[in-house]
Amino acid sequence: MSGETVITVVGNLVDDPELRFTPAGAAVAKFRIASTPRVYDKTANEWKDGDSLFLTCSVWRQAAENVAESLSRGTRVIVQGRLKQRSYEDREGVKRTVYELDVDEVGPSLARATAKVTKNPAGGGQTSVGPSTTQDPWAGAKPANGQQQGGGWGTAPPAPAPAGHPEEPPF
């Protein structure tokens, strides 16, 4: 969609990714990353940490399952997505604004780590979010890490979603 703010953030996962399923059966993973810039202090002649940026990220469908299976707290990641602003009132009636990232791509940073990449079976790595004329890639999808679909979450696989994410994340 034009006019969206696409950003790339490098940071560390603050928590393990949380995988859930919408009532229609679409997987969505939520995770938070902290990105802390390093700045050189000339007066002290040393590097210091700047102010950390914390972002809540949501990733959908097969990528959500892959994130939940592959990444954990402390992992350094590179995340690209669309920055979203959301306003709400808290319990005390104070208006708050938060910034979140609707993730398109995510992966581990290989600057100080190694990773073994395993491709999903045919169709599992599909990135298209538009209507599909092929067989439903979500049929028979199961939660990653053996997690149960519970707490009122749907069990039926979803139909392919139109561009954008019409369902709100269940967090």
CATH number at residue 15: 2.40.50.140
- Residue 96, pLDDT above cutoff 90: yes
Question: pLDDT at position 120, please?
Answer: 79
Q: Is 167 exposed, middle or buried (0-12, 13-18, 19+ CB in 10 A)?
A: middle
The number of distinct structural domains making up the chain is 1
Higher-pLDDT residue of 170 and 125 is 170
Mean pLDDT of 136-147: 42
In 14-159, at which residue ranges do the beta strands (DSSP E only) sit?
18-21, 27-35, 38-41, 46-49, 53-60, 76-89, 95-108
Any domain includes 116: yes
Residue 165, SS3? coil
Domain that holds residue 50: 5-126+136-146
- Residue 75, pLDDT above cutoff 90: yes
Any domain includes 25: yes
Closest CA to 74 of 41, 38, 45, 113: 113
User: Using CA atoms, how far apart are residues 24 and 149, in angstroms rounded to an integer?
Assistant: 12
Question: pLDDT at position 115, please?
Answer: 86
- 13 contacts 31 by C-beta, under 8 angstroms: yes
Any domain includes 16: yes
Any domain includes 153: no
- Residue 106, pLDDT above cutoff 70: yes
Mean pLDDT of 70-92: 94
Confidence (pTM):
0.66
Closest CA to 120 of 169, 75, 160, 66: 66
Question: pLDDT at position 123, please?
Answer: 58
Any domain includes 18: yes
Any domain includes 161: no
Any domain includes 131: no
Any domain includes 49: yes
Count the helices and strands in the chain (H runs, E runs): 1, 8
pLDDT confidence tier of residue 3, bands split at 50, 70 and 90: confident
Name the average pLDDT for the chain: 78
Question: pLDDT at position 113, please?
Answer: 87
**Which of 19-33, 73-87, 129-143 is least confident?**
129-143
